[in-house]
Amino acid sequence: MNHIKLIIGLGNPGQSFYYHRHSIGFRILDVLTKKHDVAWQEKSTMMIAIIQGAVGPVYLVKPSTFMNNSGAVMPFFTKKGIKPEEVLVVHDELEMPFGKVALKQGGSARGHNGLKSIIAAIGDNFNRLRVGIGRPDDKAEVPGYVLSNFTQGVKDLDALIDQSVIALEKQI
């Protein structure tokens, strides 16, 4: 994996969406910023924070657009010279069981609208931290499932978030 300069946590803006499965990327980045004692700042289409990585500063971003428009943050970072392979996107993953976390480079969106938006902006050669949320048995239930709160216990969810933060810290 290349040196990561930008980590984007996917989610939907607003407190009413914060605890949804689809917003796990926001929650993971909030824990990471708290751990590194940095604050979020509002900037047009995003919330942004900067932490010091092993090789230099790393931007942390929560798009303030809705999921389907997450790629709107990319022109700002493209102008700064950040290449797709230096980007890591943290997102919910239906195709993995709850609690599993995996790094991946490149690939398709597999129906994830946030990833589709980023792919449209910079192509598919970016890194992903896939955070398993499981999937409902009935495909028709997927939209409601990702836009609902986790049903797992707080300890299990906290462990998933902590595991994800540790995985991110190994990349920066």
How much is the pLDDT for 1?
A: 59
State the Cα–Cα distance between residues 45 and 26, nearest whole angstrom.
15
How much is the pLDDT for 101?
A: 97
How much is the pLDDT for 122?
A: 97
How much is the pLDDT for 85?
A: 96
pTM for the model stands at: 0.96
How much is the pLDDT for 50?
A: 97
Six token digits for residue 159: 């462990």
Query: What's phi and psi for 169, nearest 5 deg?
Result: -65, -30
How much is the pLDDT for 135?
A: 92
How much is the pLDDT for 26?
A: 98
Helix and strand counts by DSSP (H, E) for the chain? 5, 7
The domains of the chain, with CATH numbers, are 6-169 (3.40.50.1470)
Catalytic residues: 22
How much is the pLDDT for 161?
A: 97
Ranges of beta strands (E only) in the chain are 6-9, 41-43, 46-52, 57-63, 87-93, 101-105, 127-132
Across the 172 residues of the chain, what is the mean pLDDT of every consecutive 10-residue run?
90 95 97 97 95 93 96 96 97 95 93 95 97 94 94 90 96 91
Look up tokens 């990561």; give the residue: 4
